């Protein structure tokens, strides 16, 4: 490990099928006014809403609901939540849902008391909050983003055709998150599978950078192996609690800052995926799966030693008698088999991308330099064409 860093993560986690019982105790730490935010209604169908409302009422809280947070939350929805939070002087934002709802809660948290336009301040200009931040707590219902233990908050502006994430600091990360694997068992298979690939992508984005020997990479390999193992089980039987429970825990550690320590990290797949999301509103994890193989095959020669290590340590590729290129390629071939096995989307055409969007998507893709190769706009277009 050659990098220097400061590490802290303030989010308190409650994990397990009895974890909601700890909510009442957490609520004691905050004032009376709670903004309860959630998605399009899944929590009403599976009963989580009723359980949470009961605890809030029994705790004497005044509840202000902001329902209808869509996947890929929009800037217009952000303004709506800010109004509710500011006008009612909210003490705690309780997010009950997946990454979209939690990202949204963080965006409202920093924006409600912001004097200027939050989209411009936090997303276009990447400024840090200098106003009151409303604390956020979570009850996680869908696994993938890691939003439950990180500072990430992704907002989409359809008018400007931009989907941008801001990674806020410790002061914006959830104060607590309740992780009950049982809650994830009602997630539709398409969303579940997208979440699995999102986890894999988060780990790869951090793993495929730098050349020094770093403990973070060994942890990343362990997380990938656990994910591959459990996702195969869950793809066959989504109701397998043990597999879903392991995946929930893996997702949290895949993107809670730990495995990025001492690393520059890549994130180019996410940049391309977010640009596709801005144009198509497609499911996040599928935007990543659809471009990952063409991207990694394109950059493989620039980070050959790491791709060889990935093939051997993560996919168990037999190295004997093969060149480094052959070993590295076999690793990506194994990954392709796994992707087909769990059933992720393998091309961007299926997500609604048309040939005439490619130039715009490439323009909306931020080009980063933390990975093994810094792309040009033309190279992004080439990768998109290979992903069609
Ligand atoms: O809206 P409802 O009705 O609740 O349905 C949701 C939604 O349709 C459904 N769902 C969630 N839990 C369920 C359930 N359905 C049945 N039973 C349950 N228990 O699942 C659908 C997807 O939910 P969503 O929250 O949109 O998914 P996800 O967790 O993948 O979040 C995606 C958002 O997170 C951002 C993405 O860009 C996207 O906007 N990301 C956030 C990151 C972060 N904070 O660090 C990093 C990621 O890379 C990602 O960019
Ligand atoms: Zn992601």
In sequence order, what are the residues at sequence separation of 6 or more whose Cβ sits closer than 8 angstroms to the Cβ of residue 208?
A: 266, 296, 299, 303, 306, 307, 310, 371, 372
Give burial (CB, 10 Å; 0-12/13-18/19+) of 177.
buried
What span, in angstroms and rounded, lies between the C-alpha atoms of 132 and 352?
40
The encoded tokens of residue 239 equal 């109701």
What span, in angstroms and rounded, lies between the C-alpha atoms of 151 and 288?
20
Domains detected in the chain: 12-183 (3.40.50.1970), 189-386 (1.20.1090.10)
Q: What CA–CA distances, in Å, run from 234 to 10, 19, 139, 293, 349?
A: 31, 22, 22, 23, 27
Q: Which residues line ligand 1 (CB under 6 A)?
A: 39-43, 46, 71-72, 97-101, 103, 141-142, 144-147, 150, 152-154, 165, 183-184, 186-188, 191, 195, 198, 255, 270, 284
What span, in angstroms and rounded, lies between the C-alpha atoms of 251 and 224?
10
What span, in angstroms and rounded, lies between the C-alpha atoms of 17 and 260?
29
The encoded tokens of residue 246 equal 């392991």
CA of 231 to the centre of ligand 1 (A): 18
Substitution candidate for ligand 1 out of 47, 50, 100 with most atoms within 8 A of CB: 100
CA of 58 to the centre of ligand 2 (A): 36
What span, in angstroms and rounded, lies between the C-alpha atoms of 263 and 252?
18
Select from 243, 245, 250, 194 the least CA-distant residue to 219.
250
The encoded tokens of residue 154 equal 């992704």
- Tens place of pLDDT per residue across the chain (388 aa): 898 999 999 999 999 999 999 999 999 999 999 999 999 999 999 999 999 999 999 999 999 999 999 999 999 999 999 999 999 999 999 999 999 999 999 999 999 999 999 999 999 999 999 999 999 999 999 999 999 999 999 999 999 999 999 999 999 999 999 999 999 999 999 999 999 999 999 999 999 999 999 999 999 999 999 999 999 999 999 999 999 999 999 999 999 999 999 999 999 999 999 999 999 999 999 999 999 999 999 999 999 999 999 999 999 999 999 999 999 999 999 999 999 999 999 999 999 999 999 999 999 999 999 999 999 999 999 999 999 9
What span, in angstroms and rounded, lies between the C-alpha atoms of 11 and 66?
23
């Amino acid at each position: 490990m050659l990098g220097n860093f400061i590490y802290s993560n303030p989010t308190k986690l409650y994990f397990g099928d009895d974890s909601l019982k700890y909510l009442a105790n957490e609520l004691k730490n905050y004032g009376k006014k709670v903004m309860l935010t959630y998605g399009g209604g899944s929590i009403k169908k599976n009963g989580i809403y009723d359980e949470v409302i009961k605890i809030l009422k029994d705790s004497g809280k005044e509840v202000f609901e902001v329902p209808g947070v869509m996947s890929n939350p929009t800037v217009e929805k952000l303004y709506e939540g800010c109004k509710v939070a500011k006008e009612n002087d909210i003490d705690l934002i309780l997010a009950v849902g997946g990454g979209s709802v939690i990202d949204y809660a963080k965006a409202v948290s920093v924006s409600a008391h912001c004097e200027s336009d939050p989209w411009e301040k936090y997303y276009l200009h990447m400024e840090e909050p200098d106003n009151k931040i409303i604390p956020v707590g979570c009850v996680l219902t869908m696994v993938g983003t890691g939003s439950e233990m990180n500072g990430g908050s992704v907002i989409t502006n359809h008018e400007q055709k931009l989907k941008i994430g801001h990674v806020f600091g410790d002061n914006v990360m959830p104060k607590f998150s309740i992780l009950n694997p049982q809650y994830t068992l009602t997630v539709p298979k398409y969303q579940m599978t997208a979440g699995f690939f999102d986890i894999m992508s988060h780990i790869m984005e951090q793993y495929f950078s730098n050349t020094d020997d770093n403990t973070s990479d060994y942890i990343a390999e362990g997380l990938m192996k656990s994910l591959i193992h459990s996702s195969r089980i869950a793809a066959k039987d989504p109701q397998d609690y043990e597999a879903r429970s392991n995946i929930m825990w893996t997702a949290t550690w895949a993107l809670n800052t730990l495995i990025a320590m001492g690393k520059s990290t890549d994130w180019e797949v996410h940049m391309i995926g977010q640009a596709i999301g801005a144009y198509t509103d497609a499911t996040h994890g599928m935007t990543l799966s659809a471009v990952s193989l063409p991207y990694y095959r394109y950059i493989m020669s620039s980070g050959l030693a790491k791709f060889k290590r990935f093939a051997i340590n993560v996919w168990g590729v037999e190295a004997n008698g093969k060149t480094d290129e052959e070993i590295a390629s076999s690793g990506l071939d194994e990954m392709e088999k796994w992707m087909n096995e769990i059933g992720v989307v393998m091309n961007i055409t299926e997500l609604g991308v048309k040939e005439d969007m490619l130039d715009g998507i490439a323009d909306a893709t931020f080009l980063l330099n933390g990975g093994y190769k810094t792309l040009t706009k033309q190279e992004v277009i080439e990768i998109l064409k290979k992903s069609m």
